[in-house]
């Protein structure tokens, strides 16, 4: 009986000890959970405060092209309005080179704090396939903020060429393979990709000379250094109207409202040819989502302003807008689409 009682007491003691340990573990777990919730709440509160205070200083807007082209113009329209709304300067910083890789790398390596933003075009998507090695990860190092706008491209030639229609230009290029020199805003740029796509669909052969942006490429045609270019429409308007360049057609699905007399390249007989230049705002990886949302909302408001709509329309742009998520989906689809063009044409940097 005593042995039994003793064993019962020992068993009870073991159970009590186990319960105490269990209760202690529960208490520690509760304390850990509480501490985690406090940290999470603090971080959330800090994020909200950061977003509310943003921007508290000058924001750098990197443009990976020289001044004067469509991307530069789009950046300056956007930066000017952002500066007015936030009462902080958004400064355009042109960093051309290596088919926009130079400027993109600077943006990718900048702190993810919202004080460095990147205005990019099709090049960012194309370079993912065009270059075997990049100093950044296209799909991981950038957060798409908003798709600001797009524009068709225009096939322009130097007036010295004896061609006044797309058909006549194609006949001339086939008669003189690799004698016509075309300019582009850089390897991987929208004008380069559009022309390579043009060559792929028509079978013509032309020599390529890349420049560091649309403006110097157009200057090369004006000077007679090159004879042709498929350029973003906004930068060509004054030269076409001034008779310094001859426009043959536009690359959009529909005619360009600024110059409705120009046929589309599809109307001119090049089946399935449609290529637009798009302009989007990106921030480096790690930028708080609250800041991404604030920039997205503000830019969408800017695009709805009547004076901005008029300015963009006059410049040949079409406002787009939308959510960060929709732009992210579109950007990934562009990476795939342009990758296919590059692989098919065999384009190389």
Q: Which of 10-14, 142-146, 184-188, 193-197 has the lowest mean pLDDT?
A: 10-14
d(CA 137, CA 133): 9
Region at 272 (left for phi over 0; alpha for psi -120 to 50; beta for the rest): left
**Residue 220: per-residue pLDDT:** 96
Chain-centroid distance, C-alpha 299: 14
Contact 220, 210 (CB under 8 A): no
The dihedrals phi and psi of 91, each to the nearest 5 degrees, come to: -100, 125
Q: Is 24 exposed, middle or buried (0-12, 13-18, 19+ CB in 10 A)?
A: exposed
Whether the predicted pLDDT of 328 surpasses 90 = yes
Whether the predicted pLDDT of 125 surpasses 90 = yes
How confident is residue 5, by pLDDT bands cut at 50, 70 and 90?
very low
**Residue 1: per-residue pLDDT:** 40
Structure tokens belonging to residue 62:
């990197």
For the chain, what percent of residues have pLDDT higher than 70? 85
Strand-pair category, 246-250 with 318-319:
unpaired
Domains of the chain: residue spans and CATH: 59-151+278-345 (3.40.190.150), 152-250 (3.40.190.10)
Contact 319, 303 (CB under 8 A): yes
How confident is residue 6, by pLDDT bands cut at 50, 70 and 90?
very low
**Residue 300: per-residue pLDDT:** 98
Closest CA to 195 of 120, 270, 103: 270
**Residue 23: per-residue pLDDT:** 56
Q: What is the mean pLDDT of the chain?
A: 87
Q: How many other CB atoms sit within 10 Å of the CB of residue 28?
A: 10
d(CA 142, CA 139): 7
**Residue 2: per-residue pLDDT:** 38
- Top pLDDT among 186 and 80 is at 80
Whether the predicted pLDDT of 117 surpasses 60 = yes
State the chain's maximal CA–CA distance in angstroms. 120
- Residue 104 contacts by C-beta under 8 Å, 6 or more apart in sequence? 64, 118, 120, 124, 127, 136, 142
Structure tokens belonging to residue 36:
């985690």
Q: What is the pTM of this model?
A: 0.76
Q: What is the pLDDT of residues 208-260, one digit of tens each?
A: 999 988 889 999 999 999 999 999 888 888 899 999 999 999 998 889 888 89
d(CA 114, CA 170): 47
Q: Is 37 exposed, middle or buried (0-12, 13-18, 19+ CB in 10 A)?
A: exposed
**Residue 182: per-residue pLDDT:** 97
């Amino acid at each position: 009986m005593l042995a039994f009682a003793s064993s019962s007491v020992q068993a009870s003691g073991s159970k009590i000890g186990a319960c105490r340990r269990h209760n202690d573990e529960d208490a520690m777990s509760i304390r850990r959970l509480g501490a985690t919730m406090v940290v999470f709440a603090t971080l959330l509160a800090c994020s909200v405060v950061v977003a509310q205070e943003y921007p508290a200083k000058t924001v750098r807007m990197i443009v990976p092209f020289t001044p004067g082209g469509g991307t530069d113009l789009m950046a300056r329209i956007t930066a000017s309005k952002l500066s007015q709304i936030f009462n902080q300067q958004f400064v355009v910083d042109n960093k051309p080179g290596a088919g926009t890789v130079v400027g993109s790398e600077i943006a990718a390596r900048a702190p993810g704090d919202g004080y460095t933003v990147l205005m990019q075009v099709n090049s960012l998507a194309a370079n993912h396939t065009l270059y075997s090695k990049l100093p950044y990860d296209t799909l991981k190092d950038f957060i798409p903020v908003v798709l600001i706008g797009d524009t068709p491209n225009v096939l322009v030639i130097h007036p010295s060429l004896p061609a006044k229609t797309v058909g006549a230009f194609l006949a001339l290029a086939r008669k003189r393979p690799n004698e016509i020199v075309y300019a582009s805003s850089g390897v991987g740029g929208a004008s380069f990709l559009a022309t390579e796509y043009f060559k792929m669909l028509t079978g013509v052969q032309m020599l390529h000379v890349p420049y560091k942006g649309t403006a110097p490429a157009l200057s090369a045609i004006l000077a007679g250094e090159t004879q042709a270019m498929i350029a973003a429409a906004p930068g060509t308007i004054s030269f076409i109207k001034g008779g310094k360049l001859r426009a043959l057609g536009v690359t959009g699905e529909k005619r360009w409202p600024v110059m409705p007399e120009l046929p589309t390249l599809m109307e001119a007989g090049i089946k399935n040819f449609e290529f637009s230049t798009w302009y989007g705002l990106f921030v480096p990886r790690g930028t708080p989502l609250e800041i991404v949302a604030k920039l997205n909302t503000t830019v969408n408001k800017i695009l709805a302003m009547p004076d901005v709509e008029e300015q963009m329309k006059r410049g040949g742009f079409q406002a787009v807008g939308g959510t960060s998520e929709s732009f992210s989906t579109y950007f990934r689809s562009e990476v795939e689409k342009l990758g296919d063009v590059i692989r098919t044409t065999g384009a190389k940097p």
